[in-house]
Structure 1
Amino acid sequence: MAGRLREARNRAAGPAQDAGTELDLQQYFPYRLARLAEQVSLAVAEVYSERFALTRQEWRVLAILGARTQIATKEIGPLTTLDKMQVSRAVQGLETRGIVSRKHASDDRRELIVSLTSAGRALFRKIVPFALERETRLLAVLTSEEVEVLDRAMRKLSAELT
Structure 2
Amino acid sequence: MVADGFELSTFLPYRLNRAAEFVALRFAAQYKARYQLTRPEWRTLAALGSTGRPMTATEVGAHSAMHKTKVSRAVAALEERRWLTRSEDEGDRRLEHLALTKAGGRAYRELTELAASYQAELDRLIGPAGMQALAAGLEAVERAMGKVEKRAAAPA
Residue 89 (structure 1) aligned to one of 70, 73, 82: 73
Task: Confirm or deny that 1:118 pairs with 2:85.
Answer: no
Structure 1 distance, partners of 2:58, 2:92, is 12
Determine whether 1:78 maps to 2:62: yes
Tell me how far apart the structure 1 counterparts of residues 68 and 6 of structure 2 sit (CA, whole Å).
Answer: 34
Superposed counterparts of 1:1-162, under 5 Å: 21-67=4-50, 68-162=52-146
Equivalent residues of 1:70, 1:113 under 8 A apart:
yes
Distance 2:6 2:117 in 1: 37
Partner Cα distance (2:13, 2:58) in 1: 28
Larger Rg: 1
Which stretch has the larger CA shift, 29-38 or 55-64? 29-38
The higher relative CO (CA closer than 8 Å, separation ≥ 6) is in: 1
Letter of the 1:76 partner, please give it.
V
Deviates more, 1:118-127 or 1:26-35: 26-35
Aligned residue identity for 1:75: E
Partner AA of 1:48 in structure 2: Y
Cα distance in 2 for residues equivalent to 1:77 and 1:90: 11
Shift of 1:140: 1.4
Aligned residues, how many? 143
Runs of 5+ in structure 2 lacking a partner?
147-156
Runs of 5+ unmatched residues, structure 1: 1-19
TM-score normalised per structure 2 = 0.85
Aligned sequence identity (%): 32
**Secondary structure, aligned partner of 1:157:** helix
Q: TM-score, normalised by structure 1?
A: 0.82
